[in-house]
Structure formats: structure tokens, C-alpha cells
A and B are shown apart, each in its own frame.
Chain A
Amino acid sequence: MFISFDQVTKTYGDKTQALTDTSFKVESGEFVFLVGPSGAGKTTILRLLIHDLVPTNGTILLDKLNIATLLKAKIPELRRQVAMVFQDFKVLFDRTVGENVAIALEILGKPPNEITKKVKEVLQLVDLTDKINQFPVQLSAGELQRIANARSIVGGPKVLLADEPTGNLDPTTSWEILKILREINKLGTTVIMATHNVDIVNSMRKRVISMKKGKIIKDEKSGKYR
């Protein structure tokens, strides 16, 4: 899926301008890092892409569709194609690990046996197989992070927006997650990852969009964190 931001501005309330006249394009199948200090506007960009936020100004295109003016009834469909790993995980605390991941498939109307199979596979991928029947309160922050990651990829989205998917993870586990994201990207999924992880950004040699105070200050083909 082709993504384009054209002169997008997002103002929260009256004053906080989280994004100012931002324009960029992401080709289908690209892997992009979104970096910048806290409050730069990374999360804002990702939330605009799933229509969790509506831009104050400007056009956001997904292929040819302007999602700034998307019909309400079409929002669920958008979010199935464009999945997001949320910075605060957004797991359901009254459902088990397995059930949390299964949601992404249930909403697609997949048959139960396929759901069970895929949930097992993806939990193996994020190394949570032994926690499948536990509830989130029993888990560490890093384990919650991995549930969030697993849920976002299990449905096979066209675009994956990962907001700090390695936050709370030790370096080894972080690299495991990166490996998964790269794998998915190779299979054709566009990946946009917002991160503060300098090591990962610097060693991956992928496109890096650097932001500061709601503006893009640098956009490099195989960039570095700065």
C-alpha cells in the first residue's frame, strides 16, 4: 500500500500543534524508521494512519483513498489492513494471552481451528507459547509488549505501524522482534516503526525519517539515528 502525507497539520485542542505541514511518501513494501525526541509527533502520525485521529488540515492518502475523510463505517476495514502496535500495548486484561491475540483473527471472521493454529504459531514467534493461558496481570511489561506485537501481525496486515515495539524489551528480545518485522516486510508488508532504539536504527540501514517538534527535519535512504 502506498502512503502519502500531504501538508498534514494536526492540532490538539486549540494550541498544541503536534504536526505542522508534514509531507512524505512511503512506497508499498518499504521499511521505515520514524525517530525523534519525545513529543516530536511520531505517535500522532501513526494514529492518523488508522483514523484514530483526524488531521486538522491536509490530505492523507492510502493508495488513492483519502483517509482523512473516510466514512465511519469503513474504519474497521481500514484498521484490519493497517495494523498498529500501540505504545501502551492496549491489551485486554480480562482475556488470556491467547484470547488477546485471537481477537485480531476473530474480527476477520476466521474459523476457530484456523484461529487456534495461527495463534499458536505467532506466540511461538514471540516466545510466549508457555503463557498462552495466562492473564495479562500476571505478565511483565516486556511480555505485554510481545502480546501487542503478536496481535498486530497475526492477521497479516498490508501495513504494520509499530509504535516502540521494542520498548521494555532487552536487547536480545528486541532483535528477535526486529527479525520478525523484517521477515514480514520481506513478505510484502509495509512497516513503519517509531522508535528510540539507536542501536537498531543504526545497524538496520533502512530509511529513517527524523522528526522534531512536529516537523520532518531529515529523511534519509539508509539513515542513522540522530
Chain B
Amino acid sequence: MGTFSNTWRHIRRSPYQAFAAISVMTLTFLVSGMFFLLSVGSTIVLKYFEQKPQIIIFFKDTKKEADVNELQDRLKLMDKVASVKFVSKEDALAIYKEQYKNDPLLLEMVSADILPASIEVSATKIEYLPDLANLLKKEADVSDIVFPEDVVNILVSWTTSIRQVGMLLVIFLSLVSLFTVVTVISMKIALKREEIEILQLVGAANWYIRMPFMAEGIIYGLVGSLIGWIVNVLILVYASPLLMPLFVGIPLFPIPLVFYAIFLAMMLALGTFLGILASVLAINRYLRN
């Protein structure tokens, strides 16, 4: 007996309502979870690019080492420059080997000769990048200047849109599932009017009468968020091997187990919160005193 069996009785008696409530909760948490993951992922990628040396100047093989050193010293003295790092042909090969260590074919094709030496210049502020780029363009024997401000800008706008669209969808879906569960529980309360009255007449405290309805809301929230989490994790697990090559060097994969645990805890907490909120709203509306 007790609260749980009463709650189970409530749910079993009206499986369609329970199905509707759990479905909409699941959808909410599925989509919320997805946008959460996207938002976390894109933030990590953005951080990575923001921290990366922001301008890379590749030199022709004709560039003299003394010139490169002189350029480095000059850059280091500038206010706008945070740090300067020289990457020799050999360093470049090492980096290349590390990145493609699983791909013997690509490794064979490359030797230190064909990789250019470069310096990575990071600016103290992102706004200084164009100035620095202009300055560096005037250098002799420069083969290429990679100027990832565009990448960062694109990422910023992507991250912002993901967050905004996600926020709107999450709010909308949360409201839909909130109202669905409120409606389901209100119907239950209406159907159980007589039972509630009898319980009151024999001296049941308010909490005893309310508990099964609360528990019902919580169960909808918990089951919905749990299924939402499971599906998200399955998608991640299956998608990881496909995504990994796209994000070489970015600390995105493998996803630490702790992250899955925190993700689960967050979803369950939100599910519980939504369930409690819905049942409290229904109870306050239809079960005064």
C-alpha cells in the first residue's frame, strides 16, 4: 500500500493520459538535451579557436632564420601581441604526425621538406587581429597568412543561434509538457473528487491526499528525462566515431564519463522540478483545502 501503490494505481487506471504525459516530457528532454549538448560542444570548439594563436604566418623556404628571429623579437615588444611561437619545419612534421597517427598513408606522403615554417602570433584582443595581419603582410618571403578571425566570428554566430533557438524551443516545450501534465493531473483530481472527499472525512491530512498526485507528476518528469537522456547518449555514442575526425586537436572527444553522469543528474533534476511544478499547479487549482 502507501503512496507508491496509490500512484501506480492512478497511472495504470488511465494509461493513455500517462502515455501522453510521458511522451511530451520525453520529447521535451530529448530536444533540451540535444540543444544542451550542441551548446556545450560549440562552446568548447569556440574556446579552442579563441585560445589558438590567432594569426599564423607561413614563410617561404627562402626566408632567412635571422629575419624570422628579428621579426619575432619585434612582435614580442608590441602591446597588441600576447605571445609569439616559432614552428620549424621539423615541429610542423611532428604535429602533422601526431594528428594523423592513425593514417599511415597520409604519413608516408609527407616529409619535413614540404612543410613550411611558421610563427603563430596571438593577439591580446581579438580586435587587434586586422592591424597585425596588415603589418605582417608587408613582410618579405611570406607564403601565406592564416587569419582565423572569420572562423571565430562564424562560430560565435553559430553558438549564439544554437543557444537562442535552443532556449526558445526548450521554453516552448517545457511549457507544453507543463500544461499537459497539469491537465492530466487536474483530470485525475476531478475524477477522484469523491475519493478525496471520503479521505478528508476519515481524517486524512492534506499531504496524504496530495502525495499520490505529486508522485505522479514526479514520475512523469523522471521517466521523460531518463528516456531523453538515454536517447541523447545513444546518439552521442553512435555519432562519436563519425564526428571525431572532424574535430582533430579539439578537446571534444572522447567524452568523459563524468560528463554523462552530470548530464543525467541535470536532466533528472529538471524532470523532477517540472513534475513537481505541474502537480503543485494542478493541486493548487483543483484541490484547495
Rounded to whole angstroms, the CA-CA distance of A78 and B205 in the bound complex is 11
Contact yes or no, A52 B201, CB < 8 A: yes
| Interface 1/0 per residue, A107-149 and B, CB below 8 Å | 1000010010000000000000000000000000000000000
- Cross-chain contact of B289 among A72, A78, A83 (Cβ < 8 A): A72
Min CB–CB distance B11 → chain A (angstroms): 13
State A67–B14 Cα separation when bound (angstroms). 40
Report whether A102 and B9 are in contact in the complex, using a CB–CB cutoff of 8 Å: no
Assess whether B240 is interfacial by the CB under 8 Å rule.
Answer: no
Q: Main SS of chain B's interface residues? A: helix
Q: Enumerate A84-108 residues with CB–CB distance to B below 8 Å.
A: 84, 86, 90-92, 94, 99, 102-104, 106-107
Contact yes or no, B9 A76, CB < 8 A: no
Do B1 and A90 touch across chains, with their CB atoms under 8 A apart? no
Name the distance in Å between B124's Cβ and chain A's nearest Cβ. 65
A50 within 8 Å of B by Cβ? yes
Instruction: Report the minimum CB–CB distance from A53 to chain B (whole Å).
Output: 12
Q: Is the interface of A mostly helix, strand, loop or mixed?
A: helix
A198 to B225, alpha carbons, bound, how many Å?
Answer: 64
Question: In this assembly, does B161 line the interface, its C-beta being within 8 Å of a C-beta of chain A?
Answer: no
A3 to B120, CA, bound (A): 93
Please tell me which stretch of B58-66, B163-171, B192-200 contacts chain A, meaning at least 4 of its Cβ atoms lie within 8 angstroms of it.
Answer: B192-200
Q: Which residues of A contact B201 (CB under 8 A)?
A: 50, 52, 79, 84, 86, 90
Which residue in B9, B195, B202, B205 is a CB contact (below 8 Å) of A151? B202
Q: Which residues of A contact B195 (CB under 8 A)?
A: 92, 94
The reply on B99 being an interface residue by CB < 8 A is: no
For B69, list chain A residues within 8 Å (CB): none
Q: Tell me the complex Cα distance, A50–B206, Å.
A: 16
Q: Knowing A92-B195, A94-B195, A106-B208 touch, does A83 contact B2 (C-beta < 8 A)?
A: no
Q: How far is the CA of A112 from the CA of B202 in the complex (A)?
A: 19
For the complex, give the distance between the alpha carbons of A52 and B208 in Å: 19
Is B203 in contact with A107, judged by CB distance below 8 angstroms?
Answer: yes
Asked whether, in the complex, the Cβ of B205 is within 8 Å of the Cβ of A115, the reply is no
Chain A residues 57 to 85 lying within 8 A of chain B, measured CB to CB, are 72, 75-80, 83-84
A217 shortest CB reach to chain B, Å? 29
One of A77, A94, A103, A112 near B199 (C-beta < 8 A): A103
- Given A76-B205, A107-B203, A107-B204, CB of A92 within 8 Å of CB of B198: yes
Q: Which residue of A lies closest to B198 (CB)?
A: A90
Q: When A and B form their complex, what is the total count of cross-chain residue pairs whose Cβ atoms lie within 8 Å? A: 51
B52 contacts A by Cβ under 8 Å: no
Residue count of chain A within 8 Å CB distance of chain B: 25
A79 touches B1 (CB 8 A): no
- A91 CA / B201 CA spacing, docked (Å): 11
Cβ of A107 and Cβ of B205 under 8 Å apart? yes
Contact B208 A78, beta carbon cutoff 8 Å:
no
Q: Is B47 an interface residue (CB 8 A)?
A: no
Return the CB mask of B198-218 against A: 1 if under 8 Å, else 0. Answer: 111111111010000000000
Decide: B204 and A76 in contact? CB cutoff 8 A. Answer: yes
Please, which residue of chain A has its CB at the minimum distance from the CB of B289?
A72
Give 23 A-B contacts (CB < 8 Å), ordered by A residue.
Answer: A50-B201, A75-B200, A75-B203, A76-B200, A78-B203, A79-B200, A79-B201, A79-B202, A80-B203, A83-B202, A83-B203, A90-B201, A90-B202, A91-B198, A92-B195, A102-B1, A103-B202, A104-B203, A106-B2, A107-B202, A107-B203, A107-B205, A107-B208
Which residue numbers of A lie inside 8 Å of B, CB to CB?
50, 52, 72, 75-80, 83-84, 86, 90-92, 94, 99, 102-104, 106-107, 112, 115, 151
Q: Which 10 A-B pairs have the closest CB atoms?
A: A79-B203, A80-B203, A107-B204, A90-B198, A76-B205, A76-B203, A107-B208, A92-B195, A72-B289, A107-B203
